Amino acid sequence: MQLLDYTLGQMLEKWAYETPDQDFIVYPDRDLRFSYKQFNERVDQLAKGFLFIGIKPGDKVGIWAKNVPDWTTLMFATAKIGAVLVTINTNYKLHELDYLLKNADIHSLFLVEGYRDSDYVQMIFELVPELKTQARGELKSERFPELKNVGFIGQQKHRGMYSTAELILLGSHIDDLELESVKETVNCHDVVNMQYTSGTTGFPKGVMLSHHNIINNGFAAGECMKYTRDERLLVCVPLFHCFGCVLAVCAIITHGSTMVINEEFDPLMVLASVQKEKCTALYGVPTMFISELNHPMFDMFDLSSLRTGIMAGALCPIETMNQVMDKMHMKDIIIVYGLTESSPGMTATRTHNSPEVRATTVGFEFPNVDVKIVDPESGAECEPGVQGEICCRGYNVMKGYYNNPEATEKAIDKEGWLHSGDLAIKTEDGFYKITGRIKDMIIRGGENIYPREIENYLYGMPQIEAVEVAGVPSKKYGEAVGAFIKLKDGQKLTEEEVIDFCRGNIARFKVPKYVFFVNDFPMTASGKIQKYKLSELSLELCKQKGIEIV
């Protein structure tokens, strides 16, 4: 596959010229649709509005919003003028926003009213009280000296904030030639996007990604699924995460296809949107697919237009993979593995791989990406079947962590290999299997235990819908094995039955010492399980049950 040397703006303009009337974005719940030409014109107007309020190439522009219609407008408008879009996790609370505004040197922040139990407008007024007294465009924040503008994505008016509609109007004061001259300064190797790692351990770090990183990664993902211009992808994963803004937006923009967007994940809305817009592709983490399949109204919808999609973020039970391929007609669904630092795709299964390969492996290398497994201690490359750390090298490796050369040096070695922190093996057939995270490893009395291995085994119990294994603090062994189990609707299971299922079939030290039945797992907004929170939860659950930790 030949690498593309386009910027995001150039990619959009290519299709606005070649297929101006094709749908680019559709919001089925409000019948809002933009053709490539209409969207490109809107982006240019907003880009000029940004220039009017003083956003310059290299400035950091934060977006704190669910998948609202102008999310992508901001993404392409910042890209066209060489600014850097900083995507902010919708689950962030006050102290996390405070940290990110400072750490990322945010110049302009755009937000919606709020999300779930969080009032974003109230939060920003609390952090930046000057908004209530200073004129727009003249913001001087004592706490955040870099912050010059705050914008509201929506129709409402808020003190001290621009609205996107106003910015589009302000864009008319900027000459088209001025925008064109700024566009010419933008290079495909410039940083276009900064995403903060989930922060499942330690402080989040700003991952710097270039146009070249994300355009080519999105293109490769689309090629793995055999995308054409006729593809209609339903996007219900968050746009602030790589899954949304790269594997979705960049796969679509590089193939001239169409995105159908849901503002947030709702299984019923997903099913209705697929039917209404005759979507051909659908993305999600396994828990999303499970909730769609198990929805009581599932059988009422015609999903026969579906062909392909991506499942990522966690291990997929084989039964779920078979149901997705059969009941949801997604015969060409693939698994993609990677991390934000690898833009994110590193490996993927392909449409011709068997369901078993797609459920038990993460496929093989992305086009133009090198992958290897190394011994975490010695750095030597591992033979097939030997567990080590999975690493990659290629166009997809991030440009580094923002203002954090030490962390960058730890993540990317002198030969350019990105170290993932994930454990994996390579099979004799050349497929990669993720076996866990180095940091998730449970050390019980000196024995190394990898949660993924036990999870895979427990999925053999038909009553289990989802299972996560994490370390439980132990006075005697340091850590003990805890299994956190979500049962299928109407199913019953006891702790003893789970332990009996394991005893004699897996090594004694791997048999769960504790079994907890839960309704949900603590997750990041991008769908990753936070194992460290499970470990914390175990102490609380033991206390509730009157179990003494030994």
Question: How far, in Å, CA of 217 to CA of 247, rounded?
Answer: 7
List helix spans (H) across 391-517. Answer: 405-411, 451-458, 495-502
Strands 464-474 and 447-449 come out as: unpaired
Q: Give the DSSP H/E element, type plus range, for residue 251.
A: helix 249-253
Question: How far, in Å, CA of 458 to CA of 464, rounded?
Answer: 8
User: What string of DSSP letters covers 103-172?
Assistant: HTTEEEEEE-SEETTEEHHHHHHHH-GGGGTS-TT----SS-TT--EEEESSS---TT-EEHHHHHHHGG
Determine whether domain 30-196 maps to CATH 3.40.50.720.
no
Task: Report the pLDDT value the prediction gives residue 112, as an integer from 0 to 100.
Answer: 98
Q: pLDDT tier at 525 (50, 70, 90 boundaries)?
A: low
Q: Is 90 exceeded by the pLDDT of residue 546?
A: no
Strands 281-284 and 258-261 come out as: unpaired
pLDDT digits (tens, 9 = 90+) for 127-172: 999 999 999 999 999 999 999 999 999 989 999 999 999 999 999 9
Contact 158, 136 (CB under 8 A): no
Q: pLDDT tier at 201 (50, 70, 90 boundaries)?
A: very low
Name the residue type at position 512: P
Angle of helix 36-52 relative to helix 70-80, nearest 10 degrees?
A: 60
Task: Report the pLDDT value the prediction gives residue 508, as an integer from 0 to 100.
Answer: 80
Question: How far, in Å, CA of 497 to CA of 483, rounded?
Answer: 13
Three-point CA angle 349, 2, 421, nearest 5°? 45
Question: How far, in Å, CA of 108 to CA of 62, rounded?
Answer: 6
Q: Is 459 helix (H, G, I), strand (E, B) or coil?
A: coil
pLDDT digits (tens, 9 = 90+) for 432-482: 998 877 778 787 866 778 788 889 889 999 999 999 999 998 877 778 999
In this prediction, residues 243-269 reach a mean pLDDT of 97
Token reading at 86: 């900083």
Burial letters 488-506, b for 16+ CB under 10 A, else e = eeeeebeeeebeebbeeee
Question: How far, in Å, CA of 530 to CA of 203, rounded?
Answer: 14
* Class of residue 290 by CB neighbours under 10 A (exposed 0-12, middle 13-18, buried 19+): buried
Question: How far, in Å, CA of 240 to CA of 63, rounded?
Answer: 8
Domain ranges in the chain with CATH number 3.30.300.30? 441-545
Mean confidence (pLDDT) of the chain: 93
Q: pLDDT tier at 200 (50, 70, 90 boundaries)?
A: very low
Domain ranges in the chain with CATH number 3.40.50.12780? 30-196
Query: Nearest to residue 72, comparing CAs of 24, 14, 16, 6?
Result: 24
Looking at the chain, the whole-number percentage of residues with pLDDT higher than 90 is 79
When mean pLDDT is compared over 68-72, 432-436, 523-527, the highest value belongs to: 68-72
Measured CA distances, 234 to 77, 99, 171, 411 (Å) = 23, 33, 31, 33
Radius of gyration of the chain (CA): 24
When mean pLDDT is compared over 200-204, 297-301, 336-340, 462-466, the highest value belongs to: 297-301
Question: How far, in Å, CA of 109 to CA of 497, rounded?
Answer: 52
Which top CATH class is 441-545?
alpha beta
Lowest mean pLDDT among 239-253, 306-320, 341-355: 306-320
